[in-house]
Structure 1
Amino acid sequence: MYVRLSGKVCGAVAAVVALLGVAACGSDTADDASGAGAAPAAVETRIQPYIDASITSAALDEMASTTGVADAVLAFALASGDSCTPAWGGTRPLTDPALVDAAKGLTARGGRITVATGGASGPYLENACTDADALAGAYRAALDAVGSNRLDVDIEADVPADTVVSALKQLQDERATSVSLTLPVESAGLTPNALSLVRAADGAGVTADVNAMIMNFHADGAWATAMTDATGAVLGQLRQLRPDEPAAQTAARTGVTFMLGRTDLGAVTTLDDAAAVTRDARARGLGSVGFWSVGRDNGGCPDASAAAYDCSGIAQSRFAFTEIVRDNLVDTAPPEDSAR
């Protein structure tokens, strides 16, 4: 159930929201893609920064202490070798003390920890685990390692969809796990395989949010416009797929994730682009805005010619993307009686 907050209340709590870095009051407007011009009943758009858990842990503490953002998506739990044994990046133990302690630190701040599997490359658990029971067990182990019950399944390769969906259903039936499907996008919306996976999950009774990767696709014109247009296309697809669901609920169950700075296909997401994407997501009533990744959120390689794993490729201050997304998810308007 969602409760709409007035502009006056939102302004009054903005400072608290900024400190927590996890939620924002909703916009008073919505475009056609999110409800035919009608504002959602309420919106809680959260910032969902991805952490490359295979290479860093200190960034969790630094991000939280510098920006106040305490939510994080730990990516990626992969298969260790060819086995159905999860490890961060396929190599770092799930129980690595530094990472586990940092995750607990965010939880103590009130943050939400999400565990992500899959990703752009690497040995997928979804392929290494030969049946749904084994895959559900691998998911369970990764979640338990950091005390989470939030699972993000990032599918960018061929997987046995029936096995994945069955494992997710089993997990949700056992422990009411929150599930999101992070899926690739083209300018026209979710790819055909991605849309098929959503359809399969819905058909099996899995309650899954959809996180659209508005990155690494070819587009003409301004990159910010391409990303926001793709967002609208995804919402249109999901509304057709879920016709009985209220438009505002469909939007709330949808998120977007962009790639900060230089992307793999050459487009460059600037800070202004990130702000535009975030404002658009908030106006549409989306549930989350994420980005890949906190470890890249620095200006350590300005003017780089290719995407790097540890810097954005543009000139910026440390955590500039984290802060601009956070700031654009907060209603900064003063209370209505502030001028009296």
Structure 2
Amino acid sequence: MRRPRHLHALFAAFTTAVAAAGLVVGSGAAAHAATPLPAHVFAPYFEAYSSDSPAELAQASGAKYLTMAFVQTEAKGSCTPYWNGSTAQPVDASVFGADFTTIRARGGDVIPSFGGYAADNGGTEIADSCTSVDAIAAAYQKIVTTYDVSRLDMDIEDKSLTNKAAVDRRNQAIKKLQDWAAANGRPLQISYTLPTTTSGLASSGLNVLKSAKTAGARVDVVNLMTFDYYDNAAHDMAADTQSAATGLYNQLATLYPAKTPAQLWGMIGVTEMPGIDDFGPAETFTTANAATVYNWATAKGINTLSFWALQRDNGGCPGTGGSDTCSGIAQDPWHFTHTFAPFTSGAPAADDFSLSVAPGSAVVVPGASTTATVTTAVTSGSAQALALSVTGAPAGVSATVSPGTVTAGGSAQLTVTASASAGPGTYPLTVTGSAGPLSRSATFTVTVPGPGGAGLSNGDLEKGTLGPWTCESGASVVSTPVHGGSYALKTSPTSGQTGECTQTVTLAPNTKYTLSGWVQGSYAYLGVRGGATGSAWTSSTGWTKLSVPFTTGPSGTATVYLHGWYGQGPVHADDLTVG
């Protein structure tokens, strides 16, 4: 966000008086359970480098929620966060703590924002300045615990957008912070405030989000700076807000394909600059624009509505662009705040997550093992610590998940081992993630193949029924003729069907087998397909043995089939084996 460069030089003026008061950096405030923000929140930026009181200005304007700008280091190379980069304003309850308590007592809250134009340009944005991921994460944690906030904003623009090493460090630190918050039961959201074109993020802004995804960091809100386009064009600022957000929606849909349209819109925020922005009169956000944006934002269900900055929401300087103290247009005091304030609504999203296992099944021969990946994702609210478990393993089969605890959004490995004595069969295992009373599960199916012909069930038909064979109409189990035992299979081809009977078997993957069976009748076919290929046929009036060698594929499954031929009479089969 824009802060006039000349104000950076004023920070030193705060140092003497506050340092003399003996403030202790990091003394913190007594922790309490931070309150999640509403699902839709209006939170204008507050210029923390001014002499204004956040609580007093919030009360005067009617803005219940504030985005506090900015937190940065005091110099390049530092890892210590200060308000406005001023050592006179440490991250401590003695600085803004009383204001924040008052704001909360009125039903509102604050969102500390890291970065801003001056820090991003000057190298004092903390991830630009500090090369230690752990130290950056500690700085974020210090803000969270000192002020008990439930959202941090990252205002990344100018040089910070193209500092790839810092972009990656920032997201790695955010991931560490989110893991810490989940393990400690703290609700925590992360928003990224980024410059935009009128059709969505430029590649540099999109790369910030891609880096976050690579790092496993969850981005809850992408907040567009819908001003300062610097394209020398005339703008309808309300229309451009909508087109920029629509472009962002499409970009997020590609980046997060599992999210629903409502979830994608619920990730979007927009920040206006009331009146004449830094570029000049061609980019003027009017009071009429404000009403249009409010109605659109409400209809779309976006997450955050904001503007830069609360101190500008007055008409004290007609014709002046980019001022920090007035909008530059004729307006009533707090007109933009009063227009946007009703946007705050809705209960915070409940914490929830999803769990999946890939692949979803495997064949494990006795004495071997297999692995699968357990993936979790945050579907709403904040990430939680999830306890993972697996149940349903039969005797001779063991199943474990490692690690046993992950933060929602993380993954683990499922390992399934079949002992030499494991009995053949197909078994569903249930992998469960739990966070308090909330649990989500997924099924992993393990098949243990048996030796020899155990992979084929009822191959001798001695069950006296067809199952598990699946046959076309007319097939039956008969007592004569038989090759061995008391029963055999009879198929009945017609002019319209071959009388086929099939059974799918699961065997060891990539292994050689032979399908054998005794048949009689005209054009008796015996074969395998669906994961393996092979067939043989004969025409005979007596029992004849057919053998079909085949090799299983990676899944180990194959479909055994038997049939006759169209209109050529019945075919009998008995003593079918796979070995």
Per the normalisation by structure 2, the TM-score is 0.47
Does structure 1 residue 170 correspond to structure 2 residue 176?
yes
Q: CA deviation at 1:277?
A: 1.5
Counterpart of 1:321 in structure 2 is 336
1:271 aligns with 2:287: yes
Question: Secondary structure of 1:186's partner?
Answer: coil
| Partners of 2:42 and 2:343 within 8 A in 1 | no
Deviations, residues 16-67 of structure 1 (Å, cap 9, x unaligned):
xxxxxx86xxxxxxxxxxxxxxxxxxxx421111111111442432323542
Q: Is the 8 A contact 1:220 1:226 kept in 2?
A: no
Determine if contact 1:57/1:102 at 8 Å carries over to the other structure: no
What is the deviation of 1:167?
A: 0.3
Unaligned runs of 5+ in 2: 1-36, 183-187, 347-579
Q: CA deviation at 1:330?
A: 7.4
Match of 1:115 among 98, 112, 117: 112
2:150 paired residue number: 149
Q: 1:50 aligns with which of 41, 45, 51?
A: 45
Partner in structure 1 of residue 251 of structure 2: 237
Deviation at 1:152, TM superposition (A): 0.5
The residue that corresponds to 2:297 in the other structure is: 281
Deviations 1:259-284 (A, max 9, x none): 11111112111111122122111211
Counterpart in the other structure of 2:84:
89
Q: 2:57 aligns with which of 54, 59, 62?
A: 62
| SS state at 1:303 partner | coil
1:310 counterpart = 2:321: no
Counterpart code for 2:55? L
Relative to structure 1, the CA distance from residue 210 to residue 330 in structure 2 (aligned partners, 3 Å threshold; closer, same or farther) is: closer
Q: Alignment partner of 1:228: what SS?
A: helix
- Structure 2 counterpart of 1:212, one-letter code: L
How many residue pairs get aligned? The number is 288
- CA distance in structure 1 between the aligned counterparts of 2:108 and 2:141, rounded to whole angstroms: 20
Higher CA-based Rg: 2
Indicate the residue corresponding to 2:74 in structure 1.
80
Structure 1 residue runs without a partner (length 5+): 1-21, 24-43, 332-340
Which residue does the alignment assign to 1:216?
228
Is this contact kept in 1: 2:93–2:147, CA < 8 A? no
Distance 1:65 1:223 in 2: 27
Alpha-carbon distance in structure 2 between the residues aligned to 1:233 and 1:151: 24
Task: Give the Cα–Cα distance (whole angstroms) in 1 for the partners of residues 103 and 339 of structure 2.
Answer: 20
In the aligned structure 1, how far is the partner of 2:71 from the partner of 2:113? 6
Change over 3 Å in CA distance of 1:292–1:66 after alignment to 2 = closer
Q: Say if 1:56 and 1:295, in contact at 8 Å, map to a contact too.
A: no
Structure 1 position 178, deviation (Å): 1.1
Q: Distance in 2 between matches of 1:186 and 1:197?
A: 15
Larger mean CA deviation between 189-198 and 213-222 belongs to 213-222
**Amino acid corresponding to residue 171 of structure 1 in structure 2:** L
Which secondary structure does the structure 2 equivalent of 1:255 belong to?
A: strand
In the alignment, the residues of structure 2 paired with residue 328 and residue 89 of structure 1 have an alpha-carbon distance, to the nearest angstrom, of: 29
Contact 2:197–2:244 (CA under 8 A) maintained in structure 1? yes
Return 77-86 or 220-229, whichever deviates more.
220-229
CA distance in 1, matches of 2:95, 2:214: 40
**Structure 1 residue 98 displacement after superposition:** 5.9
Task: Give the % identical residues.
Answer: 32
Separation (CA, whole Å) in 1 of partners of 2:252 and 2:103: 32
What is residue 40 of structure 1 aligned with on the other side? none
Q: Any conservation in 2 of the 1:279–1:328 contact (CA below 8 Å)?
A: no
The 1:275–1:61 alpha-carbon spacing in structure 2 relative to 1, beyond 3 Å, is same
Output the CA distance in 2 between the equivalents of 1:232 and 1:191: 14
Supply the AA of the counterpart residue of 2:117: A
Q: Once superposed, what is the RMSD of the aligned Cα atoms?
A: 2.1
Give yes or no for the alignment of 1:253 onto 2:267. Answer: yes
Distance 1:221 1:315, change over 3 A: closer
Distance 1:302 1:96, change over 3 A: farther
More helix by share: 1
Bigger fraction of residues in strand: 2
What residue in structure 1 maps to residue 27 of structure 2?
none
- Distance in 2 (CA, whole Å) between partners of 1:153 and 1:99 is 19
Question: Could you tell me whether the CA contact under 8 Å between 2:41 and 2:343 is conserved in 1?
Answer: no
**Bigger RCO (CA 8 Å, 6+ sep):** 1
Separation of aligned partners in 2, 1:114 and 1:328? 17
Cα pair 1:73 1:116 within 8 Å, conserved: yes
Pairwise CA distance, 1:105: 0.9
C-alpha distance in 1 between matches for 2:337 and 2:51: 16
**Aligned with 2:239: secondary structure?**
helix
| 2:202 aligned partner | 191
**1:54 and 1:89 in contact (8 A); partners too:** yes
Partners in 1 of 2:127 and 2:279 — Cα distance?
Answer: 26
Identify the range of structure 1 (133-142 vs 58-67) with the bigger mean alpha-carbon deviation: 58-67
Deviates more, 1:130-139 or 1:215-224: 215-224
Determine whether 1:207 maps to 2:218: yes
The aligned residue for residue 469 of structure 2 is none
For 1:66 and 1:295, locate their aligned partners in 2 and report how far apart those are by CA, in whole Å.
10
